[in-house]
């Protein structure tokens, strides 16, 4: 990837919430839909604030000035996305049927995610960020926009999606770096103090505790309403599986751990209780732990470049 060119795109793609036309009235919607839409945007504001906090950590860890500046623009993007989502929540809260707040599971998971990203190894932190961005971008944002079916939402989502496309491109670039021999050799040479290791394991344990309830309340349950077929969520998880199928990525310890969970879940020896425990640890619903890509698609992904895989993921979200 040409990072200098990406940085120019990041600066050129900046926009303000005031660029949106907030004077147009929202379409008439039912009470149930209004409550659902306002809650969706309220939680979306929280998700974007979490994404901003995670990019702050990636900005701190960046190994080059250009990459550090790119992540700095991502932080600005996420702040703007959170502001836009909150403005959209207020915009569609026409009748004030109830008071709205960010889901409790998101509030609980927020510090756990931030701690995990701070203390876990770079490749593990990036794996969670990439997976979250794919679920958000390929599935949630598109489905929210289709569900709202209103010009105001469409105008905002077009700009947010443009930013998210840059984020996903860099996510894939970082996966390629963390799967490289250069990174793996550097990680083997660097031994962290035992206190830091203990802190990392503690953060990971807290993350496992809070991740699945958070994903359920903020991603999976809302998607049952706005994308009842589950097509887009399956597409997002399929993209994750295609990315982690590449040999250099599959060798990473965290990816091996997640693959072992998936294999155990799909084993004919696993009973319902064991599968429930595995799904809790993986942070995903059981249906997304099955193999969603065909063997031919997995083989094809292994032969593609990371940039090509990113382009294909971006094409999937626009389909």
Q: Which fold has domain 3-182+192-318?
A: Ribonucleotide Reductase, subunit A (1.10.620)
CB-hemisphere CA count at 13 Å for 228?
1
Q: Are 85 and 45 in contact (CB under 8 A)?
A: yes
Q: What pLDDT, on a 0 to 100 scale, did the predictor assign at position 79?
A: 97
**Contact partners, residue 54, CB within 8 Å, separation at least 6:** 113, 114, 117, 125, 128, 129
- Percent of the chain with pLDDT strictly greater than 70: 100
Q: Are 176 and 306 in contact (CB under 8 A)?
A: yes
For 246-304, how does the pLDDT look when each residue is reduced to its tens digit (9 = 90+)? 999 999 988 999 999 999 999 988 898 999 899 888 888 888 889 999 999 999 999 99
Cα gap 302→110, rounded to integer Å: 34
**Contact partners, residue 243, CB within 8 Å, separation at least 6:** 130, 172, 175, 249, 301, 309
- Mean of pLDDT values over 225-242: 92
Q: Are 233 and 135 in contact (CB under 8 A)?
A: yes
Give the H or E element holding residue 149: none
pLDDT higher than threshold 80 for residue 189:
no
Report the mean per-residue pLDDT for the chain.
Answer: 92
- Write the DSSP assignment of 212-271 as a string of letters: HHHHIIIIIHHHHHHSTT-HHHHHHHHHHHHHHTSHHHHTSHHHHHHHHHHHHHHSTT--
Q: Are 176 and 65 in contact (CB under 8 A)?
A: no
Per-residue confidence band for 97, with pLDDT thresholds at 50, 70 and 90: very high
Least confident range from 68-72, 191-195, 290-294, 304-308: namely: 191-195
Q: What pLDDT, on a 0 to 100 scale, did the predictor assign at position 186?
A: 80
Q: How far apart are the first and last CA of the chain?
A: 24
Nearest to 303 by CA among 260, 250, 247: 247
Q: Are 198 and 118 in contact (CB under 8 A)?
A: no
Biggest distance spanned by C-alpha atoms of the chain? 61
Q: What pLDDT, on a 0 to 100 scale, did the predictor assign at position 308?
A: 94
pTM given for the model: 0.91
User: What is the Cα Rg of the chain in Å?
Assistant: 20
pLDDT higher than threshold 80 for residue 319:
no
- Report CA 229 to chain centroid distance, whole Å: 20
Residues written for the chain:
319
Q: Hey, where are the domains in the chain?
A: 3-182+192-318
Cα gap 247→250, rounded to integer Å: 5
Cβ neighbours around 308 below 10 Å, total:
12
């Amino acid at each position: 990837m040409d990072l200098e060119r990406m940085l120019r795109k990041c600066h050129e793609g900046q926009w303000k919430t005031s660029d949106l036309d907030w004077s147009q009235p929202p379409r008439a919607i039912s009470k149930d839909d209004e409550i659902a839409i306002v809650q969706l945007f309220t939680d979306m504001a929280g998700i974007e604030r979490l994404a901003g906090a995670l990019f702050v950590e990636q900005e701190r860890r960046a190994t080059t000035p250009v990459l550090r500046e790119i992540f700095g623009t991502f932080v600005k993007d996420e702040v703007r996305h959170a502001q836009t989502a909150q403005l959209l929540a207020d915009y569609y809260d026409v009748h004030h049927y109830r008071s709205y707040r960010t889901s409790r599971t998101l509030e609980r998971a927020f510090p756990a995610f931030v701690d995990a990203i701070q203390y876990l190894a770079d490749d593990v932190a990036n794996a969670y960020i990439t997976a979250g961005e794919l679920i958000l971008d390929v599935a949630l944002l598109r489905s929210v926009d289709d569900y709202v079916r209103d010009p105001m939402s469409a105008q905002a989502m077009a700009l947010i999606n443009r930013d998210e496309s840059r984020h996903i491109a860099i996510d894939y670039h970082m996966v390629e770096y963390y799967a490289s021999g250069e990174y793996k050799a550097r990680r083997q040479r660097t031994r962290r103090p035992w206190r830091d290791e203990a802190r990392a394991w503690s953060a990971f344990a807290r993350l496992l505790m809070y991740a699945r309830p958070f994903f359920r309340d903020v991603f999976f349950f809302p998607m049952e309403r706005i994308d009842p077929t589950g097509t887009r969520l399956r597409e997002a998880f399929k993209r994750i599986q295609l990315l982690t199928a590449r040999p250099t990525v599959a060798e990473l310890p965290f990816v091996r751990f997640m693959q072992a969970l998936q294999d155990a879940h799909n084993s004919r020896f696993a009973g319902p209780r064991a599968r429930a425990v595995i799904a809790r640890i993986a942070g995903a619903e059981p249906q997304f732990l099955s193999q969603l890509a065909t063997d031919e698609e997995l083989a094809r992904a292994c032969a593609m470049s990371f940039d090509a895989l990113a382009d294909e993921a971006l094409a999937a979200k626009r389909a």
